[in-house]
Chain A
């Protein structure tokens, strides 16, 4: 991490960029937050470890409104979102200096807590650039140890890959974290009867509190004004006047990001009610792959999305 910090400092001192977009340490070692570092002094609080799950690409929209260039730290999967934002002209390439940061998987604090680990005061071993696979967790109730690889976010267990899709330079190595098939759960749900499917989603979505964290964290949800925020629209963004609305919100959102969703997994990571929202998006990805051939949104800036382009070979409705 020190190497990364030093490099950012150097880039700022050399005026390559005016500020940096990275992560800042929190209270307990696991609650790092996204942060703009406007001066090199502020870099004292800079941190990069397994708890830096937040995908910073979307903050680049704000960074582009500022004077000068911004150093942005992107993990391999974050670069897909960055590319996608570039493609949609929501950010400008020349406003960013991209440091592709190595990643050995991001950590899921709720998974750690699910092991009955409470009262956490410090966590050691979350460093991204160390090859050690052990988290040492200090709590008020006693100390615990847990394998790093056992505490990964679901998205990291089916990681898209170690490669950065866009960068100016790369610092640190990335590790293989794949331990599950990305579409396994989708296939399981596909096997369900329509009643069972409905029941599954009804159960999950009935937990939704309409906080909009999924939408606001999602790099693909970058409309200047969301239709759900309009007072002219019959459906309020903040409450369900009937139980259909919570489903409608998520279904509309899934359709809207279809073909643009890079499967970054932020929606599920931020959901305060632990709704596996990524399943919707992943189903679309699976279907797009099946109908149009393998496609990975954000893998580059040039390729057309199958859903926004037309060819004579396109799948026809009802003829799959």
Chain B
């Protein structure tokens, strides 16, 4: 375990960002999101949740797949270069890291998504324990411990100090590179900080959310429930929940005409959008109720069906904070519990 005084973090950031790109929570125009560090950046490690999850560092909202040109019946294709440079993500929360492991199940399963994999391979991830969880958090419901470290390096902010320890080879490499800035720390400090966090977690209202009624094999039981017809009604059919969600990974593939060239890019898509399931044969989810049901069934039943019971939600609570209609997965889970 190593530590550094908080007032020396700027030195640490400057040092890391000299060698590789550094991404961390940055405030810009009244909004806090993961962004690239530079000297002028307003770093906000104190903030619990960035507006958007850091998934776009690995799965950007829009990314080019290839560009191509065609003339006189001939085509040439130029695949987009993969992320080739190493980068560091600093201050990711455990729920967001757990979400990355869920994205891995999608993008790293065969056939591997090489664009995503290249970014994963090149990233060193420093997670930061949550000193002050909020009422919208429910990570514990999914067995995630926000006091415990994860990723390549685990970190804690305790009092005036920033503590960290490496979990992987990549983490060891990062710690070695920056060792001159750190001093040895007492493991016990971190242990008592963890205990404090866990005490707080125990008091948070949504942490005890029960998922026993969900998971593998629940399609028949849940799909035709009349509850969906009630629950979806306030839904505005916007994509806020899906775009702030760290595990939502649906995408669309589209063309962008840039002069002679056609750029084929991939972009986030939302199952909440009316044209999402528009395919060659027509549309198989034509009502907002069906689309609303799809989002929650996917996270709580279909994904577990295909992934050994793992839910596609980590309880980060962004949908709880951000839904313009104050609808969210918690309300859905509780409504079904009440019914049962």
Contacts and interface: CB of A to CB of B under 8 A. Distances in A.
B36 interface: no
B135 interface: yes
Contacts of A197: none
B268 A27 contact: no
Most A CB within 10 A of own CB, among B132, B206, B236, B325:
B236
Interface string B122-162: 00000000001111100000000000000000000000000
Given A213-B324, A238-B273, A27 B238 contact: no
Contact of B239 (A36, A121, A212): A212
A207 B28 contact: yes
A209 interface: yes
A266 to B, nearest CB: 8
B61 A141 contact: no
A204 interface: yes
Contact of A215 (B28, B33, B238, B265): B238
Given A35-B233, A119-B134, A240-B62, A274 B331 contact: no
A272 B331 CA distance: 19
B330 to A, nearest CB: 7
A206 to B, nearest CB: 8
Contact-size category for B: 35 or more
A146 interface: no
A296 interface: no
Interface in A109-137: 118-121
B234 A33 contact: yes
Given A33-B326, A119-B204, A274-B30, A238 B270 contact: yes
A211 B62 contact: no
A236 B254 contact: yes
A140 B239 contact: no
B332 interface: no
A141 B132 contact: yes
B256 A119 contact: no
B257 to A, nearest CB: 8
Q: Is the interface of A mostly helix, strand, loop or mixed?
A: loop
A207 B31 contact: yes
Given A31-B326, A241-B265, A210 B135 contact: no
A204 B200 CA distance: 35
Given A118-B134, A119-B135, A121-B135, A238 B239 contact: yes
A86 interface: no
A33 B327 contact: yes
A242 B28 contact: no
B203 to A, nearest CB: 5
Contacts of A33: 234, 325-327, 331
Interface string A211-253: 1110111000000000001010010111111100000000000
A36 B233 contact: yes
B239 A210 contact: yes
Given A119-B132, A239-B267, A240-B62, A217 B238 contact: yes
B252 A274 contact: no
29 contacts: A28-B136, A31-B326, A35-B233, A54-B324, A118-B132, A119-B132, A119-B134, A139-B135, A141-B200, A203-B28, A203-B29, A207-B29, A207-B31, A207-B33, A211-B244, A212-B273, A213-B324, A216-B236, A216-B237, A231-B278, A234-B257, A238-B267, A238-B269, A270-B324, A272-B240, A272-B243, A272-B324, A273-B31, A273-B52
Interface of A: 26-28, 31-36, 54, 59, 62, 118-121, 139-141, 203-204, 206-207, 209-213, 215-217, 229, 231, 234, 236-242, 269-270, 272-275
